[in-house]
Amino acid sequence: MTPVLAVKDLSVTFRTEDGPLSAVDHVSFEVGDGEVLAVVGESGCGKSVTAMSIAGLLPRSATVDGSVELDGTELIGADKRTLRSIRGREVAYIFQEPMTSLNPVFTVGHQISEVLRTHIGLNRQDARTRAIELLKLVGISSAERRIGDYPHQLSGGMRQRVMIAMAVACDPKVLIADEPTTALDVTIQAGILDVLRGLRERLGTSIVLITHDLGVVADLADRVAVMYAGRVVETAEVHDLFANPQHPYTTGLLGASPAAGRHAESQRLNEIPGLVPVLTEQPDACTFADRCPRAVDTCTTSQPQLTPGPHRVACWNPVREPVEV
Q: What is the CATH number of the domain that holds 31?
A: 3.40.50.300
In a domain, 126, yes or no: no
Residue 119 lies in a domain: no
Mean pLDDT of 142-162: 92
pLDDT value of residue 96: 79
* Domain-embedded: residue 315: no
Q: Is residue 139 part of a domain?
A: no
Is residue 191 included in any domain, yes or no? yes
Please give the average per-residue pLDDT across 180-204, as a whole number: 83
Select from 34, 37, 88, 71 the least CA-distant residue to 198.
Answer: 34
Q: Residue 145 falls within a domain, yes or no?
A: no
* 192, 134 Cβ separation under 8 angstroms: no
**Between the CA of residue 282 and those of 51, 107, 231, 236, 286, what are the distances in Å?**
21, 46, 11, 25, 10
pLDDT tens track for 50-89: 999 998 999 999 999 999 999 989 999 888 888 888 888 8
Residue 205 lies in a domain: yes
Q: Return the pLDDT at 323.
A: 54
324 falls in which pLDDT band (50, 70, 90)? low
**Amino acid identity at 157:** G
- Tally the domains of the chain: 1
What's the pLDDT tens digit per position in 222-269? 999 999 999 999 999 999 999 999 999 999 999 887 755 445 455 677
Domain that holds residue 25: 5-90+170-222+264-284
Q: How far apart are CA 317 and CA 249, in angstroms?
A: 12
Give DSSP secondary structure letters for 144-199.
Answer: HHHTT--GGGS-HHHHHHHHHHHHTTT--SEEEEESTTTTS-HHHHHHHHHHHHHH
> For residue 189, what pLDDT band results from cuts at 50, 70 and 90?
confident
Q: Is residue 196 one of the residues assigned to a domain?
A: yes
Q: What percent of the chain has pLDDT over 90?
A: 63
In this prediction, residue 269 carries a pLDDT of: 75
